[in-house]
């Protein structure tokens, strides 16, 4: 059976959103898991990204994703935060490469366009569409997890368009 499992990531260093979606041929996308990897705010930065790496490895081992999709950095008002998120993003990408998982990267604009058809969609619109596509009842509690599911779905749509050609 032709099946894809995509691990979507909303990068950060204090909170990393993750969403794992699956699609088998002829079926709709479904959420396998979603949530946040959280590291203690008082901890050393290197310890925090090492913990993030360990938690990602556990998700990879459990779900065996065939692809990883990561949101690209777009804009940060705080340069110090942007640098830290960029470093965490490097750890995320390296984790995928070490585990021989192909990586897709998407900007927020691309993700919003893929999910809602409108690149300037509001966060609430995005969350509603993600929940509707994946048939998740109610509101997804974590914005980071909802964003990660959106990243995974964006990659999934892109992947299946390629397969249909």
Binding positions for Mg(2+) are: 10, 71, 144
Catalytic: 72?
no
Using CA atoms, how far apart are residues 42 and 77, in angstroms rounded to an integer?
22
Cα–Cα nearest to 152, from 73, 91, 37, 71: 71
- Please answer whether residues 142 and 13 qualify as being in contact, where contact means their C-beta atoms are separated by less than 8 angstroms: no
Task: Give the up-direction half-sphere exposure of residue 110: CA atoms within 13 A in the CB hemisphere.
Answer: 18
Binding residues: 10, 71, 144
Bridge partners (DSSP) of residue 5 are 22
Catalytic: 38?
no
Show the 3-state SS of 19-48: EEEEEECCCCCEEEEEEEEECCCCCCHHHH
Catalytic: 71?
yes
Of the candidates 10, 22, 104, 147, the residue annotated as catalytic is: 10
59: Cα separation from own chain's centroid: 12
Of the candidates 4, 22, 71, 104, the residue annotated as catalytic is: 71
The CA-atom distances, in angstroms, between 54 and each of 38, 50, 70, 109 are 12, 6, 17, 30
Of the candidates 4, 22, 104, 144, the residue annotated as catalytic is: 144
Q: What angle do CA 48, 5, 52 make, to 5 degrees?
A: 5
Instruction: Kindly list the catalytic residues.
Output: 10, 71, 144
């Amino acid at each position: 059976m032709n099946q894809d499992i995509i691990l979507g990531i909303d990068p950060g260093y204090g909170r990393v959103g993750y969403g794992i979606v699956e699609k088998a041929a002829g079926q709709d996308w479904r959420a396998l898991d979603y949530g946040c990897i959280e590291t203690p705010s008082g901890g050393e930065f290197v310890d925090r990204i090492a913990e993030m790496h360990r938690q990602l490895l556990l998700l990879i081992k459990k779900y065996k994703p065939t692809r990883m999709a990561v949101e690209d950095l777009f804009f940060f008002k705080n340069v110090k935060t942007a640098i830290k998120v960029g470093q965490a993003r490097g750890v995320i990408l390296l984790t995928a490469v070490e585990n021989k998982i192909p990586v897709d990267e998407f900007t927020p604009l691309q993700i919003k366009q893929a999910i809602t058809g409108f690149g300037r969609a509001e966060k609430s619109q995005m969350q509603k569409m993600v929940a509707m596509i994946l048939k998740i009842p109610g509101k997804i509690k974590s914005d980071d997890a909802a964003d990660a599911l959106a990243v995974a779905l964006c990659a999934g749509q892109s992947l299946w368009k390629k397969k249909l050609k």
